[in-house]
Amino acid sequence: MSPYCTLLFDLDGTLADTEEGVWLAVNAGLTAAGLSPVPRDLARTFIGPPLEDTFHTLGVTDANFQAAWDGYADAYKSAGMYRTKPVPGMPEAVHRLKAAGYTLAVASCKPWSYCVPLADLCGYGNCFSVISGSFHNGVPEHKPSIIREAMRQLNCNPAETLMIGDRGSDVTGARECGLPCLGVDFCGYAEPGELEAAGAIAIVSTPAELLRFLDLE
């Protein structure tokens, strides 16, 4: 039997393939800030970390940050969000985990106002007891804060809680909160060896492998 009762899921790259929509919105933000857009083949490298960090990496400064942020938000809300696709097999896997008695939550650096409709758009329905995202209840855009907010709302036992995510920041954020993290390699957003180097307890490549890890296959 799995030792875990509560599962916290990252969103981008774990529950959903958000690459196309994020790329579209990031480029809208860069254009609004007077910067050149980035090619599609770079999109995966900036999915996962906080958007503020991504923009600074791409040349946004404090002087044009608000323009970039507003351009991103407008494009994401109007178009980018609707380019999102569920990771194939994950809605079915999550519904099985819910039916098996696990308590499920989302813990994503994406703004909460996007996380809630995306969970619906991707077919996750009412599977999640809590959706924790940034800029909700005063939560900043950093993984440990997001995870702590999910744990606070769930009032869960850390010894029985597992984080599931696709980037090194999920692993290190979970560790800072006293949780193990299972790495997933569903969308290929992480750099080679990133999850191993961060200290993921294991890495799975398909939703079926995730279910087997949790003793459901």
pLDDT at 196 over 80: yes
Examine the domain organization and report whether 97 and 172 are in the same domain. yes
Summarised one tens digit per residue, pLDDT across range 122-150 is 999 899 999 999 998 888 889 999 999 99
pLDDT above 90 (res 48): no
Give φ, ψ of 211 to 5 degrees: -65, -40
The percent of residues in the chain predicted with pLDDT above 70, rounded, is 100
Same domain, 30 and 44: yes
Residues facing residue 156 across a β-bridge: none
Q: Is the pLDDT of residue 17 over 80?
A: yes
Q: Which two tokens stand for residue 76?
A: 């994401």
CA 204 to chain CA mean position, Å:
16
Q: Which pLDDT value is given to residue 199?
A: 98
Let me know whether 75 and 156 are in one domain: no
Q: How far apart are CA 9 and CA 97, in angstroms?
A: 12
Sign, CA torsion 52/57/62/67: negative
pTM above 0.75, yes or no: yes
Report residue 2 as tokens.
């799995």
83, 103, 131: which is the final residue of a domain?
Answer: 83
Mean pLDDT to the nearest integer, 44-72: 89
